[in-house]
Structure 1
Amino acid sequence: NASGCGGCSKPRDPYELGVTKYSGPAIQENGTLADNSSGAYIYILPGNTEIIPYDNGYYAEYPVNSFSEFWLNNGGTNANEPLPVNLLSFEAAKQNNKALLSWITSGEMNLREFIVERSTDGNRYTSIGMVPAKNTAGNNYYSLNDLQPIDGLNYYRLQMIDRDGIYRYSPIRKLNFSSAGEDVMIYPNPVTGSRVFIASSGNTTGAILYDAAGKLIRQFSLQGRNNTLNLSGIAKGVYQLKVFTGNDTRIARILIQ
């Protein structure tokens, strides 16, 4: 955590970080935020900051023209991130023989579009689709299907671009479409009682149940290859069940009767 910043916390993903540059009197450029009172802040965007893995951590490279006090963060000390979008989630899941990419944002303003990119090695990415931004108040829900994933590992990320051309990337998600991928069986379906069974060829770590509108209904912590979910108290209807295994994420539509 940053010195002199009681409300600061560790980042969820290093690749979401940009850099705050504080320029002030030399006595204030001392490695603590608490006494930064008379200088000026500049935010170096994540798109202009290169986060590089090193040893057991990371270091950042970014362009500057003077010495100052620098902080890695995701939107400036006053939460004034220049890119007008807050990415709440980005997920990738296998749905039969295709990949479903879904994400949720909030606080959109002057955002132009999302570019969905795919890679087979985690380094070189190509675009597989574009989704226009909604720029509406509250949470915005998006999705895109990769109808022809590559056999083997597929890496996915979002490029989020505002109307000024400024952009940043989402965290990376990975799916395995190899023939040796893990099989998941969910039964009975339709669900006639209060329980549903999950059998997997690999270790199952968890599951999430969503309603037809995408609202989270219930989360389950799982372990091993055979698990039972208790669905008591859940209303009848159509739901999506997302199952997490060691290497994959599967989505299945289930009907509770």
Structure 2
Amino acid sequence: GIPAGSYQLVLSSSATATSPGLPAGYGHTGEGTGTTADGSIDGTISLTVSAAATDRNFGIKKMLQAHNKAYVMSSSATTAINLPSSANGALRYRYLVAPAGTASSGNTPGAPTGTDPYTGTGATASDVLVIDPASYSGARNGNPVAGALVLRYKGVQLQAGGCAGTDAGGISCSLYNSATGKWEIAQFDAAQLEILVTEGVSSVGFAYAWKDAAGLISESAGYTVSFGGVLPLKLGAFTAEASAAGVLLRWNTLEEEGTDRFEVEYSTDGRAFRPAGSVAAAGTAASYRFTHRPATAGTHFYRLRMIDADGQFTWSPVRFVSDRAAAAAFTLSPNPATGSTVRLLWSGAAAQVRVTDALGRPVFATALAPGSPLGLPAGRWARGTYFVIVEGSGARYTQTLLVP
């Protein structure tokens, strides 16, 4: 009942459609007459009707399904790095996330995964992972941050535009498809994928998809990692030393993103800290110095409270300057400890001795008699730095003991 003429057959899920349209998750694999393809894969067949037309065939297939991933992890679970961007030498990545988990959510990021809808099994070695660098994103408390993330595979940063800088010529550079602007990783090895992140962000994300043997690319899935706060500034060296003017503190930053200031705090016992002063942040990698004049003699401990513009902060490691009087007041031998006991000899009157770990937690305390050696049970303590504090005759003396 169809008049002779030229027609176009259209495969669609709608009876009134004039253009191809398949349900979500399906893709065209070809069309033609009999076993002869018409040379295009678009869901249409051109047809000239002059007699009965039969054996016109369409091929469709369910596409692989990429899995959405969403994680919340602590910055302490990342690995500290200092790597330049291959595409922008002024940009450096400070954190590495290794997607070694197996779940699609939680606090341990996992690798991109997919499912074959026909078998219910995961993506196989014949399937190709597709990464779109245009989807890379980062945010600081909801505000976009450019250049916050890049994926690295087999040592090559998967940058927009392909391999750049020192990565050029790398074995993985051939994975970049210049026609689509995407990276296509065949025989994907999850152990070779890394997520590199700059500091100063609270979340990062990207999109990925899977391409099957027929060339069909799945719908994209989202992958996000939130850090429960802003990834902090990276501190370089931080030192404290006695000088004629007081205690000289020096420190430098490797990079600053949103840092407002450094508050210098000091303590006489390594536990209770109080403000000593404040130094404004430079806003970029910089070196700083600050001189503190202690009001009393003795050992002094110092730390930096590094505060971001939004009020979030982190602390630096603790540094200390020993009073020479402490070394004269009592001795520790051997130091570093080499056996189960460290000998303490005190030259003053009756006193109290206590030992704390680097976090100020007590590990030992006892009375100390003048002129009588005391054995400190260092062999029972974990490896680390300890503070031996002797208080007597109205004075407090502190020395550091290393337990290797």
State whether TM-score is above 0.5: no
Greater relative contact order (CA < 8 Å, ≥ 6 in sequence): 1
User: Structure 1-normalised TM-score?
Assistant: 0.42
User: Taking structure 2 as the reference length, what is the TM-score of the superposition?
Assistant: 0.28
